[in-house]
Chain A
């Protein structure tokens, strides 16, 4: 099964409530994916980049790792532990930090990196995962969240969605892919680093690869229609965009809703039912095999459909 929710704010006045609204949406989808959950929040831009890292062992000495990392890459690095995650604040690009971690702490799993996006995930009740990481208190412009009922790979924290395979990019998936092993081999050759054996991470990497080649978010997903074999509803977020795609058979559900203040996506309407102004929202089921995309327009400060 799995449940997906996405909230993309057009009205900056709602940004202080992003986490609270997303947590309420996630709560409605917990029955669709009770084994684990995760979320990505696009918060205010900071100086430098943020790296969110999962420690499966429970033994990571975060302050020491941060100090060694900072010395190795030559920038100031701070680390805030949250549950079994370490949130590294790097005074510069996250790429060298990620390389250093892979070399010196190969047991740690990088969940996200970028200027604005932070991903948190965990096993168990989705509400408990959201509470553990303080989702309701988070602010920002858009968020994706996922409740997982695992099919293709193990129920482990790193197998939870969203998957990030490039800075400030992530994907959540309801469904399963059947050609992910072949695609993963090709993407590894092209330099993508995978953190798990999960099929959905391959979809995330496929989109990242197309984006890095210069495709728009909509073009990247359209390419996926040809290459990704399986069942899916995808929601993909970038620093300034959100896109939705269902496979042409459309076995997996999706509902979209839009007002002047926000665009919302969910596996079922009940996740959208409590959003402010929903009574005047345009509500529709996205057509199978058609990309729906929105972006924050940089030109006039307003946010519009792409």
Chain B
């Protein structure tokens, strides 16, 4: 595995001015439902969520440019369906972080479990550590940047968007992929059906540089990445394969 880059970035809600103004929400007192109700009823502002202790569905369905910092580890589906908000998890995230995200940015400062960014339509998901199996499954347009490695079946049936991995990828990367673009700096254990390596042209190097900068990984060299995508052989029925059906 390649060494994960050192993130160099401002964390939403973590600079002194914002932190002083941030609304403190203690999940040990109020619970997840109260937190999400509060966030759904607010148009802007910064929030600090403490004592998440692995709770599920923290800060889901946000619909406004809020800055939310979760100080600890979260359970399943954190930041799911996010629209416009900047959400930072200062720990690990369970299954399905930022699933179905529409816009905004979600940053996980630890590792993410499986299906990170599943079906995400827009916005950016940054994972400083590793993401487990099925990262970016059915990706529909979002950008996902992983500082470490991703597990098996990542970008399965990914339709649109970009997945950039600074470490390694597990088995069957990009299986049955449509038009998403995959960039991996380390080794790829194996490619899935219809996923092939493609040429890195200038526009791809530029695209990688933009994604790295947005994720705060500006010290990583775009030249170290290789590009993978669809061979487009599964798009149409091939009469020669008729016997297989």
Contacts and interface: CB of A to CB of B under 8 A. Distances in A.
Interface of A: 28, 250, 253, 255, 268-274, 283-285, 287-288
B209 interface: no
B114 A272 contact: no
A274 B111 CA distance: 20
A270 B152 contact: no
Contact of A285 (B54, B75, B113): B113
A250 B94 contact: no
Interface string B83-121: 000000000101100000000000000110110000000
A269 B132 contact: no
B133 interface: yes
Given A268-B54, A268-B94, A273 B73 contact: yes
B50 interface: no
Interface of B: 53-55, 73, 75-76, 92, 94-95, 110-111, 113-114, 132-133, 151-152
A284 B73 CA distance: 12
Nearest to B53: A273
Contact of A250 (B53, B54, B133): B133
A269 B75 contact: yes
Nearest to A289: B152
Given A253-B113, A269-B92, A283-B92, A288 B151 contact: yes
Contacts of B54: 28, 268-273
A268 B52 CA distance: 13
Contacts of A28: 54
A284 B111 contact: yes
A253 B151 CA distance: 14
Q: Give the secondary structure class of A's interface.
A: loop
A287 B133 CA distance: 9
A268 B111 CA distance: 14
Max chain B C-beta neighbours (<10 A), residue from A268, A272, A283: A268
Contacts of B133: 250, 288
A288 B53 CA distance: 24
A72 B73 CA distance: 56
A265 to B, nearest CB: 14
Contact of B73 (A250, A269, A274): A269
B39 to A, nearest CB: 20
A250 B171 CA distance: 13
A262 B113 CA distance: 22
A274 B94 CA distance: 17
Contacts of A274: 53
Contacts of A269: 53-54, 73, 75, 92, 94
Nearest to A287: B151
Nearest to B129: A284
Contact of A288 (B75, B95, B111, B152): B152
Contacts of B53: 269-270, 273-274
A250 B151 contact: yes
A82 to B, nearest CB: 32
Contacts of A272: 54
A271 B54 CA distance: 8
A250 B153 CA distance: 11
A191 to B, nearest CB: 38
Contact of B75 (A250, A268, A284, A287): A268
Given A250-B151, A283-B73, 20 more contacts: A28-B54, A250-B132, A253-B95, A255-B113, A268-B54, A268-B75, A268-B76, A268-B94, A270-B54, A272-B54, A273-B53, A273-B54, A273-B73, A283-B92, A283-B110, A285-B114, A285-B132, A287-B151, A288-B133, A288-B151
Given A250-B132, A283-B92, A270 B55 contact: yes
Contacts of B114: 250, 253, 285
Contacts of B110: 283
